[in-house]
Amino acid sequence: MYGRSQSAAQMGTQGQIMSTYDYDLFVIGAGSGGLATSKRAASYGARVAIAEGDRVGGTCVIRGCIPKKLMVYAAEHGHAHGDAAGYGWHSETGSLDWSTLVSKRDAAVENLEHIHEGHLEKAGVELVRGRARLVSAHEVEVDGRRVSAKFILISTGGRPILPRISGIEHAITSDGFFELKTQPGHVLIVGGGYIAVEFASIMAGLGTKVTLAIRRDRPLRGFDEDLRTELLAALRAVGVDVRTETTVDSLSRDGESTTCELTGPSGSEQLVVDHAVVYAVGRRADVDGLGLDAIGIELGAKGEIVVADDDRTAVDSVYAIGDVTERAPLTPVAIQAGRALADRLFGNRNTTMSYDDIPTAVFTEPPIATVGLTTEQAIEKYGESGVTVYRAGFGPLIHTLTDRKVRTFIKMIVHNETDRVLGCHMIGHDAPEIIQGLGVAMKAGATKADFDATVGIHPSTAEEFVTFA
């Protein structure tokens, strides 16, 4: 155990008392990574404080993963209402009460925020309200209060960005999406990444007309090319008007309508939507006002904090984890990296965070999940003759009796020399639940022979991964 007395009076080699610190660890940012680190450090007996200038929980809890997934469930219920007719259920046409959905969603988020606050108190972590600024390698100032710490952790996450175009003040970011008090009749969503395609699927499922403007030919740049193609078709299948290779040049407001000037493959055109134009074109590290320059912390090309493999910045006593570092910006990654850091600093454990084979999901309709190398990455690493790619596409059993034609697609990439599975990818119902288990198998070094030797659960989609021939 680290012990509470160790930093209270640090002894020099001749027995003299060296300078002491107010805290063993001071965390800046009470998002997922900061919360996980602070509680783990406190469990070892470290004196810990965490500063937050906004709401406790960060992007994931307040305006990201949690409220988004609740909206995904709402959209799924809308689809299920229509699908039920194929199974003999008869009811009046369903309608959405937007205000009920929003109020219950917000109440659930607020409750979760209070739960996190309670967990900090129970762990013995002091919550300091306010935006923190680094003063020196061991000092932090929060609203005029200056404190010292042996170690400082920056986990301030990221924030959405907006382009510099005429009329951009008429747009909202992904943060503003969760502040919509009324349901738009027609919304333009700009972007082709996780957030944009998830919002497009959600709003289409809730009954809003959706136009999605993507700068490239397909969404989700960096994902497996087959999945990108399947997702484009899936978005259009649920009614999303996807405009590929399209940019937004300007926005203008007239009452409750917004006119959007677009440029696409066919030239320029105008699109008139409700007041809501949602931009989800990327995020950047939230480092403004932290005082990084003053103490010599280095930033990368995208404005992210540069860290070594052990999460240490250019200042030895200051660390950074999570989205503020631009390394695999996912909530579970920040949590695991933070816990590993606390283990190393206070638990006398050489725990490290592995950034290989990180599973991830995109909650579209249907959802995407993936782990490991894409086909393109595997071929680049091992050569085209060095890998075998298995594919299967089919209509899932659940839609046999419905009018919706939702396609499921799965693939597995195998290294020919070792037979080791390099990647598993899926778009279809329950994809995140299925790929999570396959991620464990891949971490354990599973081979194609291991998959083949596993008896499938029938009838299920998951069995397709163990029946590839």
What is the per-residue pLDDT across 256-283, written as a single tens digit (0 to 9) for each? 899 999 999 999 999 999 888 999 999 9
Residues 265, 291 within the same domain: no
- How many independent structural domains does the chain possess? 3
What is the per-residue pLDDT across 79-125, written as a single tens digit (0 to 9) for each? 998 899 899 988 776 789 999 999 999 999 999 999 999 999 999 99
339's enclosing H/E stretch is helix 331-346
Alpha helices in 178-224 (DSSP H): 194-205
Residue recorded with tokens 């502040």: 179
Predicted pLDDT of residue 2 = 55
CB 451 within 8 A of CB 468: yes
pTM recorded for the entire structure: 0.92
Residues 257, 177 within the same domain: yes
Percent of the chain surpassing pLDDT 70? 96
Residues 153, 188 within the same domain: no
Q: Which amino acid is at 384?
A: E
| Distance of alpha carbon 421 from alpha carbon 415, whole angstroms | 6
**Which range marks the domain in which residue 423 is found?**
360-466
What is the per-residue pLDDT across 420-445, written as a single tens digit (0 to 9) for each? 999 999 999 999 999 999 999 999 99
Residues 88, 12 within the same domain: yes
As a whole number, the mean pLDDT across the chain is: 94
Domain limit, last residue, from 355, 377, 409: 355
Q: How many CB atoms lie within 10 A of CB 178?
A: 17
Residues 120, 106 within the same domain: yes
The pair of structure tokens assigned to 370 is 């993936």
Residues 41, 6 within the same domain: yes
Residues 213, 227 within the same domain: yes
The pair of structure tokens assigned to 162 is 């907006």
Residues 394, 412 within the same domain: yes
Of 77, 275, 415, 458, which is the active-site residue? 458
Domain limit, last residue, from 215, 249, 281: 281
Phi, psi dihedral angles at 59 (to 5 degrees) = -60, -45
Residues 303, 402 within the same domain: no
| Distance of alpha carbon 319 from alpha carbon 327, whole angstroms | 14
* Residue 458 falls in the annotated catalytic set: yes
Does 9 have pLDDT greater than 80?
no
Domain limit, last residue, from 249, 281, 313: 281
Q: What is the CATH number of the domain that holds 92?
A: 3.50.50.60
Q: What is the CATH number of the domain that holds 368?
A: 3.30.390.30
Residues 143, 196 within the same domain: no
What is the per-residue pLDDT across 368-398, written as a single tens digit (0 to 9) for each? 999 999 999 999 999 999 999 999 999 999 9
